[in-house]
Structure 1
Amino acid sequence: MASAIFGSLTFRLSTVAISFLISIGDVSGANPVASGTESKANTHSSSQGVKHSVNSELVSDLDTAALDKLRAEGTPRGRAPSGWPAFNWPEKRDVLFGFYGPSEQEKQFIVEAVPQSPIVKPEHKRKLLVFYRCQYPHASIATANFAYQQLAKATDAFDIMLTDDPALIRTSNLSQYDALLLNNTTDFDVTVGADGRAAILNFVRSGKGLIGIHAAADSCKGWRDGARLINGIFSCHPWLPTGTWAFQLQSPEHPINQAIEGKGFWLRDEVYAYRDGSHSPDQSRELVSLDLTKSENHDSPSLRESLRDRTNAKPHRPVAWIHRFGEGRVFYSNLGHNNTTYWHPMVLTHYLAGIQYALGDLHADDTATTELAIVNTSPAPIDH
C-alpha cells in the first residue's frame, strides 16, 4: 500500500507522515538515525541488523530470472515525493531511509556479497565514523550505510558508528576514531561549517584516515584545502548511472587492486568528470580509471547526450586513488551512485581494501602516479 501512496504523491510529505508509514511497516529499509546522535553498529550487533529468515523467505519466492533482474536493477520504487531533494534535512533523511532505504531482498544481497574476512588482520581494534548528511541527496545513502555496517560485522576489521550530526565533526569527538568515511556527502564542507572543516583537516593531518565515496568529491568548490584533501572536484557526469562502463586498473599489482584480483572490470554506475586542475596525479596514486580503449565509454546510448563530446576530451579519467595528506591517509572512490553497487562483491572488497588502508592496517605504496617509472595497467575484459 505504501508504494502506491508514495507513487501518487505530488506534494511535499511531512516528517510525521513518512514516519507513520515507516512505523506501520509499509516502507521497507533502515530507519533513519535521529539527528544529533551516533548510531553504533559494531561487529557483534547492529541496530539495523538483517533478519535472515525473513530475507530468505522473500528471496525464495522469486524465480531465477526475477531474482537476477532484482539483483541487477534493484527493487522497483514509485515516484518519490515531488521536490524532495530541496527538503530540509530531517524530511530529506526520512525520504532517503523510508522511501529509498534497502528492501529486505536488497539487504540479503548485501549480506551475501560482503567479504567474510578482512584484507589484513587489524593491528588493533579500529573505529570508523560514517558521516552521511548532505546537501544534494543520493538515493543510495541508506543502502550504503547498511553495506558498511555489514562489512564491519562480517570482517571484524573495524567497529562502525553512523552519524548525520555536523556537531560531531569536531576535534573533541573525532579523536576517538581511526578514520572518517564521507558517504555521498555532497558539499560536506558547507554542512560541517568552519569548525568542522578545521577538525577534518587536523584529524587527517595528525595521522588518521579519510574515505570519500562518490559525491564526497562534489564538494569543496570554494575550500582549497578541502579540494586538496580529496584531490578532485566534480564537474559533470557524462557516464550516467544507467550505463555499464569499462574500468581499467592502474598498478594491478598494488595491494588494494590485488584485493579485487588485479583485473579490470565492467560496472553499472555513474562516473564523474572532474574540474580542470582539481585532480593531480602528482599527488595521488591512481588505482582505477575508465578504460577509454572500449568504445562503449564513448558511444553508449547511456551517455548524457549533451556531454558526449567530453568523453574524448581527455586521454585519462581517474576513478579511484589514494594519497598521503600530512601524516594521514586518504582513499577516494567514485563508485557508489547506484544502490546496486553496494551489493556487488568486487566493489565491497574494493571499499574494504581502501578503508583498511585509510585505517592504517593495509600498508600500501602511495607514491604519486607521476613518480613511478612504469605504470602497469589491466584493461576491462572485452566481453561483459
Structure 2
Amino acid sequence: MTRLLTFVLVIFCLGACVGAPPVQEPSLRVFYLSQSVGFVHETARRPADGLSSSELALQEMARDSGAFTVELSQDARDLTAARLADFDVLVFSTTGALPIDRETWAAIVSWIDSGRGGFVGVHSAADTALDFEGGEEAWTAFLGGRFDGHPWTQGTPIRLSNLEPSHPLAAMWPDGTPYAEEIYQYAGFVPDRLRVLQTLDMTAEPLRRPYPVPVTWVRRIGQGRLFYTNLGHTPSTWDDPRFRDQIVDAIRWTGGRLEAPAAPNPDAQRAAAITAFVAAEGLDPPSGAAAPGLSEEIRSLQSLHPDKHDGDASAWDAARARLRAALSK
C-alpha cells in the first residue's frame, strides 16, 4: 500500500508540473537618466507640470512590452553606488559633464563589467562627459566615441545603411531606410572595439561625406553589454515603432534577456568606409581588395574637413586626391 501511495503521489506531482504555467522572469529594472548639463534637447525638456517626451515614451515602452519597469531621473546624483543593486539596465540620453564622481563611476563600470548591469545610450549620450578630471576621456572610452559635430542637422534627409540586416538589434531598420534626423559624427571611435550595426548611406542626397559615419553599435564590457544609437534627437523618433522596438530589444539584450552577437566587425566597417568614399566621390567600386590601411585613411578625412580648419581645404583636397588615385588602380 505504501508503494502504491508513493507511486500515485509521484504521478500526481509530475502531472501538476506538466500542467503548471511557465515561470515568468521578473521585469528588468531600468534607470532612465535624461539630465541636460549642456544643450537641452526637446526630448528631455520637462514642462512645468509633467514629464519630458522621452520619459513618457519610455514609460509607454515599458507598459506595452512588459519587458521592464522604469525609474525616471534628471539628476545623476540619484545614481549612487549603493543604488546600482536596484537596477538591471541604465539608459542615458544626456548632455554635458554629469555630476558623477570618480568613485561612483568606478562602481558603475565594475557593475557592468561583472555582468550585473547593462547600458543603453541614446543620441546625446555621445555628447556627454563626467565631472572629474579625465572624465571626458573615460566616458569616450566607455561609450566608444564622442560627439564631433553634426553636419546632418535636425530634419536632414538621410538613408540608413544596415550592416547586419538580420541582427536582432537592427533588423527593425531595413537596409536603405530613408529617414530624417540629426546625425552625429564621432571622435575617439575605435572600430576594432565595436560591432557597428547601422551607418549613414553616403549614396543618399543631399549631404554626403567621403568617410563612414556609424549610427548604431554594440560592445561587450567584460561580462556586461553596451548598446548605443545616434537616433533619438526628435520626439517623432521616440514615437517611431521601429525606434521603440530597437530600444526595447536593446534593454532586453543589455539586461541579459536577449542574445545577439557583439564581437567587433572591423571587416564590415572597413568595407563600409570604402563604400562611403567611392559613393561620395562618384567612383566605381574597386574591383579587388582595397590596400591595407586605406579605410583608416578614409576615416581620417573627417579630421581634415575644411569646416575644422577655418575653410582651408588644402589637406582635405590632397588626401582625397591620394585616395581617389589609390582606389582607381
TM-score normalised to the size of structure 1?
A: 0.58
Corresponding residue to 1:190 among 98, 103, 108: 98
- Following superposition of structure 1 onto structure 2, how do residues 158-237 of structure 1 map, counting pairs within 5 Å? 158-183=68-93, 185-187=94-96, 189-207=97-115, 208-220=117-129, 222-223=134-135, 224-237=137-150
Residue of structure 2 in register with 1:326 after alignment? 222
Contact 1:169/1:200 (8 A) holds in 2: no
Contact 1:168/1:174 (8 A) holds in 2: no
For the residue of structure 1 that corresponds to 2:70, the secondary structure is strand
Residue of structure 2 in register with 1:140 after alignment? 43
Give the superposition deviation at 1:212: 0.5
Corresponding residue to 2:204 among 290, 294, 312: 294
Residue of structure 1 in register with 2:14 after alignment? none
- In 2, the alpha carbon distance for the partners of 1:239 and 1:374 equals 22
State the percentage of identical aligned residues. 27
Residue of structure 1 in register with 2:165 after alignment? 252
Mapped pair 1:263 → 2:175: yes
Give the superposition deviation at 1:191: 2.4
- In 2, the alpha carbon distance for the partners of 1:373 and 1:336 equals 23
- In 2, the alpha carbon distance for the partners of 1:203 and 1:334 equals 24
AA of the residue aligned to 1:218? D
For the residue of structure 2 that corresponds to 1:228, the secondary structure is helix
For the residue of structure 2 that corresponds to 1:134, the secondary structure is coil
Residue of structure 2 in register with 1:127 after alignment? 29
AA of the residue aligned to 1:167? R
Give the superposition deviation at 1:374: 10
Which piece of structure 1 moves more, 289-298 or 207-216? 289-298
Corresponding residue to 1:285 among 159, 184, 195: 195
Cα pair distance change 1:200/1:122, threshold 3 Å = farther
Higher relative contact order (CA 8 A, sep 6+): 1
For the residue of structure 2 that corresponds to 1:295, the secondary structure is coil
AA of the residue aligned to 2:152? W
Cα pair distance change 1:294/1:161, threshold 3 Å = same
For the residue of structure 2 that corresponds to 1:296, the secondary structure is coil
- Following superposition of structure 1 onto structure 2, how do residues 30-69 of structure 1 map, counting pairs within 5 Å? none
Contact 2:95/2:129 (8 A) holds in 1: no
Give the superposition deviation at 1:293: 1.6
For the residue of structure 2 that corresponds to 1:161, the secondary structure is strand
Residue of structure 1 in register with 2:154 after alignment? 241
AA of the residue aligned to 1:264? G
Give the superposition deviation at 1:295: 2.9
Cα pair distance change 1:358/1:326, threshold 3 Å = same
- In 2, the alpha carbon distance for the partners of 1:219 and 1:161 equals 20
Contact 2:191/2:269 (8 A) holds in 1: no
What is the root-mean-square deviation in Å for CA atoms of aligned residues?
2.5
Mapped pair 1:272 → 2:184: yes
Cα pair distance change 1:373/1:338, threshold 3 Å = closer
For the residue of structure 1 that corresponds to 2:192, the secondary structure is coil
Contact 2:32/2:91 (8 A) holds in 1: yes
Instruction: Identify unmatched segments of 5+ residues in structure 1.
Output: 1-120, 299-310, 380-384
Give the superposition deviation at 1:375: 7.5
Contact 1:247/1:290 (8 A) holds in 2: yes
Deviations, residues 40-91 of structure 1 (Å, cap 9, x unaligned)? xxxxxxxxxxxxxxxxxxxxxxxxxxxxxxxxxxxxxxxxxxxxxxxxxxxx
Deviations, residues 117-146 of structure 1 (Å, cap 9, x unaligned)? xxxx98543101101112121111111111
- In 2, the alpha carbon distance for the partners of 1:172 and 1:256 equals 31
Contact 1:122/1:361 (8 A) holds in 2: no
Which piece of structure 1 moves more, 197-206 or 131-140? 197-206
Contact 1:244/1:269 (8 A) holds in 2: yes
Between structure 1 and structure 2, the one with the greater Rg is 2
Mapped pair 1:335 → 2:245: no
Give the superposition deviation at 1:373: 11
